[in-house]
Amino acid sequence: MSSRTVWRSFQTHARRRLIVPETPYRCFSCTRRAQEPPKSSHDDRMTHFGFQNVPESQKESMVGAVFSSVASSYDVMNDMMSLGIHRLWKDHFVRSLNPGSALPSRDHDTAGRGWNILDIAGGTGDIAFRMLDHATNINHDLETRVTIADINPDMLAEGQKRSVQTPYYNTNRLSFMQGNAQELPSIPDNSVDLYTVVFGIRNFTDKQAALNEAFRVLKPGGVFACMEFSKVDNSLFNAVYKQWSFSAIPMIGQLVAGDRESYQYLVESIEQFPTQEQFRGMIQKAGFMIPGRGYENLTGGIAAIHKGIKPLSRA
Amino acid sequence: MTRPQPLLSLSRRYLTTITTPRTSTITTTTTCLLRSPQPQPQSRLRTITPRIRAYHSIHHPSPSHPYTNSQTTILSAALHHVPTHGFTRNALTLGARDAGFLDVSVQLFPRAEFDLILFYLASRRGLLRSKVDNDNLLQSAQPQSVDDKIKVLIMERLRMNAEVKEKWVYALAIMSLGENIPMSLSELYALSDDILTLAGDASVDASWYSKRVTIAAVYASSEFMMTLDTSAGLRDTEEFLGRRLAEVGAVGDKLSGVKQCLGFMGTTAVGLGKSWGLKI
- A96, A103, A217, best to mutate vs chain B, most B CBs in 10 Å: A103
Tell me how far apart the alpha carbons of residues B98 and B76 are, in angstroms, rounded to a whole number. 10
Q: Residue A133 is which amino acid? A: D
Hey, is the C-beta of A97 within 8 angstroms of any chain B C-beta? yes
Of the segments A11-15, A116-120, A251-255, B42-46, which one has the largest average pLDDT value? Answer: A116-120
Q: What is the per-residue pLDDT for B24?
A: 41
Tell me how far apart the alpha carbons of residues A289 and B108 are, in angstroms, rounded to a whole number. 8
Hey, is the C-beta of A14 within 8 angstroms of any chain B C-beta? no
Residue of B nearest to A102 (CA): B90
Residues B93, A103: C-beta atoms closer than 8 Å: yes
Summarised one tens digit per residue, pLDDT across range B240-259 is: 999 998 988 888 888 889 99
Tell me how far apart the alpha carbons of residues A52 and A66 are, in angstroms, rounded to a whole number. 14
Question: Nearest Cβ partner of B105 from A101, A106, A221?
Answer: A221
- For A248, residues 6+ apart whose C-beta sits below 8 A from its C-beta are A81
Q: What is the per-residue pLDDT for A252?
A: 85
Helices (H), chain A: 2-19, 31-34, 56-70, 74-82, 85-97, 126-133, 153-163, 207-217, 235-243, 249-252, 260-272, 276-285
Q: What is the per-residue pLDDT for A97?
A: 92
Residue of A nearest to B66 (CA): A292
Q: Residue A312's closest CA among B105, B147, B90?
A: B105
pLDDT at A10 over 60: no
Question: Nearest Cβ partner of B94 from A103, A221, A296?
Answer: A103
Q: What is the per-residue pLDDT for A60?
A: 79
Stretches in chain B below the pLDDT threshold 70: 1-65
pLDDT at A32 over 80: no
Q: What is the per-residue pLDDT for B32?
A: 40
Q: What is the per-residue pLDDT for A80?
A: 79
Q: What is the per-residue pLDDT for B267?
A: 94
- For B246, residues 6+ apart whose C-beta sits below 8 A from its C-beta are none
Residues B108, A99: C-beta atoms closer than 8 Å: no
Summarised one tens digit per residue, pLDDT across range A158-197 is: 889 889 998 998 888 999 999 898 888 999 999 999 999 9
Summarised one tens digit per residue, pLDDT across range A277-311 is: 999 999 999 999 988 888 999 988 899 999 999 99
State which H helix or E strand residue A196 sits in.
Answer: strand A192-198
- For A97, residues 6+ apart whose C-beta sits below 8 A from its C-beta are A131, A194, A196, A223, A225, B104, B107
What mean pLDDT is predicted for residues A17-35? 47
Tell me how far apart the alpha carbons of residues B225 and B219 are, in angstroms, rounded to a whole number. 10
Q: Does the pTM exceed 0.80?
A: no
Q: What is the per-residue pLDDT for B65?
A: 65
Hey, is the C-beta of B179 within 8 angstroms of any chain A C-beta? no
Summarised one tens digit per residue, pLDDT across range A173-184 is: 999 999 898 888
More confident residue, A244 or A9: A244
Q: Which chain A residues are within 8 Å of B103, Cβ to Cβ?
A: 101, 103, 111, 115, 193
Hey, is the C-beta of B250 within 8 angstroms of any chain A C-beta? no
Q: What is the per-residue pLDDT for B217?
A: 93
Pairing of strands A192-198, A174-178: unpaired
- pLDDT-derived band at A44 (thresholds 50, 70, 90) equals low
Hey, is the C-beta of A222 within 8 angstroms of any chain B C-beta? yes
Q: What is the per-residue pLDDT for B269?
A: 93
CB environment A180-209: b (16+ within 10 A), e (fewer): bbbebeebeeeebbbbbbbbbbbbbbbbee
Distance of CA B144 to the CA centre of its chain: 19
Domains assigned to chain A: 71-104+114-230+273-309 (3.40.50.150)
Q: What is the per-residue pLDDT for A254?
A: 86
Determine the Cα angle at B254 with ends B251 and B259, to 5°. 125
Q: Residue A300's closest CA among A196, A248, A229?
A: A229
Q: How far is CA A231 from CA A94, A252, A298, B72, B197, in A?
A: 22, 22, 10, 32, 45
More confident residue, B162 or A65: B162
Q: What is the per-residue pLDDT for A134?
A: 93
More confident residue, A196 or A71: A196
Among left, alpha and beta (phi > 0; psi -120 to 50; other), residue A294 is: left
pLDDT at A128 over 90: yes
ipTM summary value: 0.73
Residues B104, A193: C-beta atoms closer than 8 Å: yes
Domains assigned to chain B: 17-64 (no CATH), 67-110 (1.10.10), 113-280 (1.10.357)
Residues β-bridged to residue A279: none
Q: Is A119 annotated as contributing to ligand binding?
A: no
Q: What is the per-residue pLDDT for A267?
A: 86
Residues A110, B70: C-beta atoms closer than 8 Å: no
Q: What is the per-residue pLDDT for A26?
A: 45
On whether the CB atoms of residues B79 and B14 are closer than 8 A, the answer is: no
